[in-house]
Amino acid sequence: MPRELLKGNEAIAEAAIRVGLEAYFGYPITPQTEILEHLSRRLPELGRAFVQAESEVAAINMVYGAACTGARVMSSSSSPGVSLMMEGISYIAGTEIPVVLVNIMRGGPGLGNIAPAQGDYFQAVYGGGHGDYKPIVLAPSTVQEAIDMTVMSFDLAEKYRTICMIIADGSIGQLMEPAELPEMRPIQRQNWDWAVNGTGGRQRRILSSIYIEPKDEEIANLRMLKRWQEIQKNEIRFKEYYTDNADFVVVGFGSAGRIALSAVRAARHQGIKVGLFRPITVSPFPFAQLEELSKRVQGLLVVEMNMGQMLQDVQLAVKGNTPVEFYGRPGGVVPFPDEILHEIQRVATSKLSLDADPRMSWLDRATAK
């Protein structure tokens, strides 16, 4: 396919269609409404299902029901809308069915604002809903990655009978970049051995998240963890820039990661040996890869558009091997490369401590006047 100038939100929607999205259920919310808008036009014209539900609560339960048939279904929303979906998301996780969800994150908590943010990392990566489960969470930083991850998310969700969520901040949703869409594939609904799609004489199947007998629920929980073990083994993805001979490495996902790339390049021009590590799967998180990296650098700088959430996973990964520093812009503020460059310079020239709490040190710097 040729490279086209595509907007992040529309690219996600069109990519989903081309890999066989059969039904979408959602409710409009900025800054992801273009996903819903695009699908509201395209799905009916292809004879597929588009439903604008009365609320996000309704939408996620429609997704739940439709996914039980084995069809490729999805929903998308932005932060407050995703919070509303959490009960349904937990039920989907407990029923072990594949569902693709997209969160185009905005500033919060609460109603917050509609500006780009990464404050939903914990909610996404640690499941968000009640009970013991882990979804796969992908964090694109370009329109092309948003397309590729949409394609991948359906395969991953089906392979592991799990929720696969794409988290991108509002700026990726609104950004236009040259990107290549996948070719249109015919819908090929697989004959899953778990789907409820009409018995046709075979044994009846029941899909549910109810395990009245605790021992049965325990078995289901352990089955899900076994599957998670496989996901951790097979599905970790990340991208490294200039890390080969780096003394320091910036760690950032999504927009924060790509903005940090500009800062890393500028720092390299000034002779600072700095690299960038950008997790693409934030769940499963590239713990082992970061641990390896932490053994050969003098410090890590985590940059996020929140108050230090992925930071905790980075700290877990590095096991105290190297100091970890933090720089964040929460609330919908997008950092400029110059700010991150300044932080790289600070990290490269100060005496770093293994004992300091990077969030609190950052907070002191951010609020000092």
Residues of this chain that bind another protein (CB under 8 A): 3-5, 30-31, 114, 170-171, 174-178, 258-265, 334, 336-338
In the bound complex, what is the minimum distance in angstroms from residue 198's beta carbon to another protein? 44
Q: Which is nearer to another protein, 174 or 221 (CB)?
A: 174
* Smallest gap from residue 272 Cβ to another protein (A): 16
Tell me how many degrees the CA angle 194-200-203 measures, rounded to the nearest 5. 50
Contacting residues for 255 by C-beta, under 8 A, at least 6 apart: 116, 118, 141, 168, 169, 171, 172, 305, 334
Residue of 301, 192, 176, 190 lying closest to 246 (CA atoms): 301
Our CB check for another protein shows the closer of 131 and 178 to be 178
Three-state SS at 220: helix
What minimum distance in Å lies between the beta carbon of 178 and another protein? 5
DSSP string, 154-189: HHHHHHHTSEEEEEEEHHHHH-EEEE-PPPP-----
| Closer Cβ to another protein, 41 or 336, answer by number | 336
Backbone torsion region of residue 96, taken as left when φ is above 0, otherwise alpha when ψ lies between -120 and 50, otherwise beta: left
Q: Minimum distance between the CB of residue 29 and another protein, rounded to whole angstroms?
A: 13
Residue number, 114 or 138, with CB nearest to another protein? 114
Pairing of the two strands 176-179 and 4-7: antiparallel
Report in angstroms how near the CB of residue 9 gets to another protein at its nearest: 11
Closer residue to another protein (CB): 267 or 324: 267
The 8-class DSSP code of residue 205 comes to -
The minimum distance between CB 174 and another protein, in angstroms, equals: 5
Match 């599905």 to its residue by tokens: 235
Minimal distance, residue 325 CB to another protein, in Å = 20
For residues 61 and 27, the answer to whether their CB atoms sit within 8 Å is no
CA 134 to chain CA mean position, Å? 12
Q: Which is nearer to another protein, 9 or 95 (CB)?
A: 9
Neighbour-count burial of 344, counting CB atoms closer than 10 A to its CB (0-12 exposed, 13-18 middle, 19+ buried): buried
